[in-house]
Amino acid sequence: MFSRENNHSLKRGPIDFVILISVSLLALIGFAIVYSALSTSPLGQSVFRTHLIALPIAAGAFVFGWLFNYQIYDEQYKKLYMFIITLLIGVLIFGVTQRGSHSWFRFGLFSFQPSEICRIATILISASFLERNKRNIREFKTIFLLGIILLPVFGLIMLQPDFSSIVVSAPALIILLFAAGVDLYYFGLLFAFAVAAGFFPIAWTYLGLNPEIARNSFIAELILNLRVNIWYILGFSALVVLACWLVKQLLRQFRIEIPTALALIVSGAILAGFFSGLFVEKKMKPYQRKRVEAFLAPKSDPKGASYNILQAQIAMGSGGVLGKGLFSGTQSRLGFVPERHTDFILAVLGEETGLFGTLGVLLLYLLLLWRTTITATLSSDLYGYFVCMGIFGIFFTYLIINFGMLIGLVPVAGIPLPFVSYGGSNLVASMWAFGIVESVYRRRLSVV
């Protein structure tokens, strides 16, 4: 099953220079772009100062992650778990609200967002749990227990609420489970859940945008009623269970036996998805609904939510191949690009440094992801493998969402681009994460 990846493991060397250089370059590019993006803004000076403080801390986090033996996280995973639960409870009590989320600790000069650290810690804890249950990894019980363990973490984050944390952590966790070798069957269930959870809010939003369809279609009206009427909901639940049982009976005619429990679990997954969707629908804030609407119908509202995407694309496109030069982007300097130092930093990068800049950052990210998977294969233990794949999952998700949002692939999710976007907590956490990868690399030769 295992094949030696080249002969890296035989080479002595305490650090992977590709990761080190990529991370350093990204942080430098980020620093320059954030400074350029905000040079004309009144925010500029304070952001610059905070960034200056965050950079050495982040460098420290990297060195810490690298020198600190990652296996200790595995040994002390209960303490780590208690630590992040305490942090998350603490932020709910002592934290302050910024940008609509009650998720910040405030310390004089700067503030700190614990959910950034929790994102990494969640992966460390999950890896630890999976490693301990490596022999039962194909069993449902294992995944179920992992869900139970992580539920408080996600619940506390939802209370802030910090949806963007969930948006990154959940796919990262799925990628980790996939890499850990969890049965594809569970991914089928998860897929059923996700489809149900995604389908209903999108369908409701879409029908809200196009009321004439709802008027003319019986099914559309039924779907709309599912949102409000308790009897419809109960009827729908019964229908789903019945449908699953009927499918089971039908398959039996073809001599494909399916355990009743499985049919029940499938219907349970669909229903769980539906209720999650209902929950999201009820909790969705107007601006979030606007984003979904803008994604479904980008042309419907040129001055609204899709306006942001359009302006970001204009910024990137107008940069061309060579860019307009640092401090010279009109789209960003004049405020057409929203959130230009955080979520839409790529638009500024594209405008000022052109295709070279965006492809350069993309390439650095690709190098990071590639080296992380290589490090995973080199790991001296299974825990290191899981940790690397979890971190790979996090940054792969970041990459897809942040780039994808700009090119119209996914809805606007308010996710920063690590290393490049402004955000001290994110920078520190990201540096720490790759420090951990380096730590796995450093200890690849140790005997377990």
List residues near another protein by CB under 8 A. Answer: 1-3, 134, 137, 175, 178-181, 311, 313-321, 330-331, 334-336, 350-351, 354-355, 358-359, 362, 365-366, 369-370, 373, 376-377, 379-382, 385, 389, 392, 396, 399-400, 403-404, 407, 409, 448
Q: How far is the CB of 106 from another protein (least distance, A)?
A: 30
For the chain, the farthest-separated pair of C-alpha atoms sits apart, in whole angstroms, at: 72
Is the CB of 140 or the CB of 178 nearer to another protein?
A: 178
What dihedral angle (degrees, nearest 10) is formed by the CA atoms of 430, 119, 174, 237? -150
Are 378 and 385 in contact by the 8 Å Cβ rule? The answer is no
Q: How far is the CB of 84 from another protein (least distance, A)?
A: 26
Q: Which DSSP helix (H) or strand (E) runs through 105?
A: strand 101-107
Q: How far is the CB of 406 from another protein (least distance, A)?
A: 8
Is the CB of 275 or the CB of 403 nearer to another protein?
A: 403
What is d(CA 264, CA 241) in angstroms, rounded to the nearest whole number? 7
Is the CB of 324 or the CB of 442 nearer to another protein?
A: 324
Q: Nearest 5°: CA angle at 36, between 287 and 360?
A: 85
Q: How far is the CB of 433 from another protein (least distance, A)?
A: 16
Q: How far is the CB of 340 from another protein (least distance, A)?
A: 11
Are 442 and 15 in contact by the 8 Å Cβ rule? The answer is yes
Q: Which two tokens stand for residue 245?
A: 């049982």
Task: Find all residues with CB under 8 Å of 303, minimum gap 6, and list them.
Answer: none
Query: Radius of gyration over alpha carbons of the chain, in Å?
Result: 23
Q: How many CB atoms lie within 10 A of CB 392?
A: 24
Q: How many CB atoms lie within 10 A of CB 113?
A: 24
Strand order in the sheet with 110-112: 96-98, 101-107, 110-112
Is the CB of 269 or the CB of 374 nearer to another protein?
A: 374
Nearest-10 crossing angle of helices 345-378, 382-406: 160
Is the CB of 116 or the CB of 131 nearer to another protein?
A: 131
Q: Nearest 5°: CA angle at 428, between 424 and 434?
A: 145
Q: How far is the CB of 384 from another protein (least distance, A)?
A: 9
Q: How far is the CB of 330 from another protein (least distance, A)?
A: 5
- Selection from 123, 58, 120 nearest residue 428 by Cα: 58
Is the CB of 43 or the CB of 238 nearer to another protein?
A: 43
Is the CB of 262 or the CB of 310 nearer to another protein?
A: 310
Q: Which two tokens stand for residue 147?
A: 């869900």
Is the CB of 90 or the CB of 320 nearer to another protein?
A: 320
Q: Which two tokens stand for residue 2?
A: 């295992």
Q: Which two tokens stand for residue 226?
A: 């599912």
Is the CB of 230 or the CB of 334 nearer to another protein?
A: 334
Is the CB of 133 or the CB of 276 nearer to another protein?
A: 133
Q: Which region, left, alpha or beta, applies to residue 107 given φ > 0 means left and ψ of -120 to 50 means alpha?
A: beta
Is the CB of 233 or the CB of 382 nearer to another protein?
A: 382
Q: How far is the CB of 322 from another protein (least distance, A)?
A: 10
- Selection from 401, 388, 372 nearest residue 168 by Cα: 401
Q: How far is the CB of 127 from another protein (least distance, A)?
A: 12
- Residue type (1 letter), 315: A
Q: What are phi and psi of 98, to 5 degrees?
A: -135, 135
What is d(CA 282, CA 186) in angstroms, rounded to the nearest whole number? 27
Q: How far is the CB of 151 from another protein (least distance, A)?
A: 25
Q: How far is the CB of 419 from another protein (least distance, A)?
A: 16
Are 198 and 207 in contact by the 8 Å Cβ rule? The answer is no
Q: How far is the CB of 5 from another protein (least distance, A)?
A: 9
Is the CB of 197 or the CB of 405 nearer to another protein?
A: 405
What is d(CA 417, CA 34) in angstroms, rounded to the nearest whole number? 12
